[in-house]
Structure 1
Amino acid sequence: MRLMQNMSSQRIYRQYQKSLVNQSKALKNISSGEKFTKAGEAPNEIAKSERMRLQIRGLQMAQRNVQDGISMMQTADSALDSMTNTIQRVRELLVQAGNGSNSPEDKETILNEVKQMIAGYDDIAKNSEFNGVPLFEPQNGINSVKMQLGANAYENTEIKFYNLRAGNLNLDEIVGFVEKDEFGKALVKSDSVIENLSNVRSEYGALDNMFENCFEGLGEFELVTQAAESAIRDTDIAEEMMELTKNNILVDSGNAMMVQSNKLPQEILRILENVKSR
């Protein structure tokens, strides 16, 4: 037994300090929900986690981009449907105009409706836009845009814009053919326009399908990446609660043991007193 250095008490105190540190760490992890909050605690894990978080945010933004692409294609498809129906009505009128029993008045009435339908078609083509971007009247020489589809560089696709205005498609030729009773040429022209519209609509439909598949894929990839990042950084609350409980017991027992170990010098004094009294 030593009087000057209470080694037992010092050892107990050292273990007590460790238990306090572990107790504090467990409390911090539980309250923050993260295993570590400073780079110094786990440099490699922090670096991995930050890279994954960067990827997750990129994936989330890419999903918003793809949603915009889907909305743009659906807007274009709706407009193209109306434009196609308009030209189909023009074609019906052309077939009707080819009836040899029509009076000049009948022919004039049909011609006026054809003109109105072409004007209506042009209004749709002129006014169809998405978020201020004209869909069928490219401006400033811009005939396509890039749509970012992923979180990384060059993960994009091209959306082409086509000038489908009546003037660009020379729809006035239909009126001229009707005025000259060249109904066959008018029908050929209307069929050509309908085919052109169908081709553009088919291309945009394929893009719409690709965007929807891409959106689902991005969502799945985001979930997988979030799960991986969570495994690195997030606290297992059940495990931390067990660690906290363990360290609470160790702190309490450390306190009790220090009280007992601090009595050792007093025991030495009593022994010395007994020796002196003899």
Structure 2
Amino acid sequence: MIINHNLGAMNAQRQMSTNQNNMSNSMEKLSSGLRINRAGDDAAGLAISEKMRGQIRGLEQADRNAQDGVSMIQTAEGALNETQDILQRMRELATQAANDTNTDTDRNEIQKEVNSLTSEINRIGNTTEFNTQKLLNGEKDGSEAIAAVAGEFTSTDDIGTEDVTIDGVNFTYVDSGATAADGEFSDAEGLAAAIDASDLGDKYTASHSTDKLVLTQEDGEESSTAPSGLDFETTTAGVEGKDAGSGNSAQFQIGANESQSLTLNIADMRASALGITSEGTGAELGVTDGTNNEVTEQALDLSTHEKASEAITKIQSAIDEVSGERSQLGANQNRLEHTINNLGTSAENLQSAESRIRDVDMAKEMMNMTKNNILSQASQSMLAQANQQPQSVLQLLQ
């Protein structure tokens, strides 16, 4: 028997310390509700959980961003609803003014209302804002320009090696491989080479497709009528170009990561952009640029039958343009609403996965704490017993 080293007591004390530490950890987890309270609890799990938390918070913010985007779109579309009502009234007035039962005095009174309505369309375009940002004055239109092509025509038959006449201009065939001069064309390797169309007054760009001749009208040519002399089929006709936007597109961040965004362009919806003004002294008609400055535009002239009739067509075009813009806004709103639903689902599922890593199972941890508590009490009892063992040495000294 030895008394300098009570190994039984030392072992009981070590076990008791371990049990108490385990019980303390269980109490911490039960108190916080988290399985991972520090990196040491699960280093890999902590890294994965933090990455997921970044995604979750990004998705939740993207959800709010998309809802703000819907609000912006609804603001713009609501203003355009009023603009369209105004245009419908202007069309009605133009139709009325086109009737020659009206006197000059009558048309003058109609003109006053059209002037006022034109000014109101400008006011709506200049002042409609969301969070101090202008929506309908072109500042949110970052669309790229679309090239104008009046028409493209392809000959229905191979042009072969015979002379051809296009719009009264004769083109002479020259030997294969020869360089075609003005008024000539040649074929190369069985393909009809591009004829020199300079004799057509640069009205077309000429090229070839197999043995067929393709003529594309240059920008600025208004007619989409097929050229004469050959039988042509119209590939495209009347394709109108669109000028580039004057501002920057609205970008909605609808994802948690870079480049997960939606681009929205809102066209200029003021009177001049809609084509319902003409040059003149705008101040006399109440047409301003939104800052009460005089501008060189005036409302459509309804002073005669012919002018009023032309105004009907222009106003109808404006109505169609506003309708198209409202349709585009509505489509983007629907897209954002689907995006909101998807973001909510994604955030929920990711939160569930993160919870399994980070959160504690309360029932399981309560079981662990109960076990550690019992073991701690048992180890305390055994430590007391181990401390009593050296007392038996005294019996040897009696």
TM-score where L is the length of structure 2: 0.65
Structure 2 counterpart of 1:191, from 303, 316, 335: 316
Runs of 4+ in 1 over 6 A off after TM superposition: none
The answer (yes or no) to whether the contact 1:143–1:161 under 8 Å persists in 2 is: no
- Which letter maps to 2:270? R
Matches within 5 A, 1:222-237: 222-237=347-362
- Pairwise CA distance, 1:237: 1.9
* Aligned-partner SS, 1:121: helix
Name the structure, 1 or 2, with higher relative contact order (CA <8 Å, separation 6+): 1
More strand by share: 2
Structure 1 unmatched runs, 5+: none
* Aligned-partner SS, 2:40: coil
Matches within 5 A, 1:14-25: 14-25=14-25
- Pairwise CA distance, 1:24: 0.9
Over the matched positions of the two proteins, sequence identity in percent amounts to: 37
Q: Structure 2: how far apart are the matches of 1:96 and 1:180?
A: 11
- CA deviations 1:177-212 (Å, max 9, x no partner) are 412322321111011000000111000100000111
* Partner in structure 1 of residue 260 of structure 2: 155
TM-score where L is the length of structure 1: 0.92
* Aligned-partner SS, 1:238: helix
* Partner in structure 2 of residue 98 of structure 1: 98
Residue-pair matches, total: 273
Cα distance, 1:132–1:263 mapped onto 2, change above 3 Å? same
The answer (yes or no) to whether the contact 2:8–2:386 under 8 Å persists in 1 is: yes
- CA deviations 1:188-245 (Å, max 9, x no partner) are 1011000000111000100000111101111111111111111101122222222112
The answer (yes or no) to whether the contact 2:98–2:304 under 8 Å persists in 1 is: no
The answer (yes or no) to whether the contact 2:45–2:358 under 8 Å persists in 1 is: yes
Tell me if 1:58 matches 2:19.
Answer: no
* Partner in structure 2 of residue 260 of structure 1: 385
- Pairwise CA distance, 1:175: 4.5
Q: Structure 1: how far apart are the matches of 2:316 and 2:248?
A: 25
Structure 2 unmatched runs, 5+: 141-245, 279-297
Q: Structure 2: how far apart are the matches of 1:111 and 1:73?
A: 33
| Superposition CA RMSD, Å | 1.8
* Aligned-partner SS, 2:302: helix
* Aligned-partner SS, 1:153: coil
* Partner in structure 2 of residue 205 of structure 1: 330
More helix by share: 1
Structure 2 counterpart of 1:179, from 286, 299, 303: 303
The answer (yes or no) to whether the contact 1:33–1:234 under 8 Å persists in 2 is: yes
Q: Structure 2: how far apart are the matches of 1:124 and 1:175?
A: 16
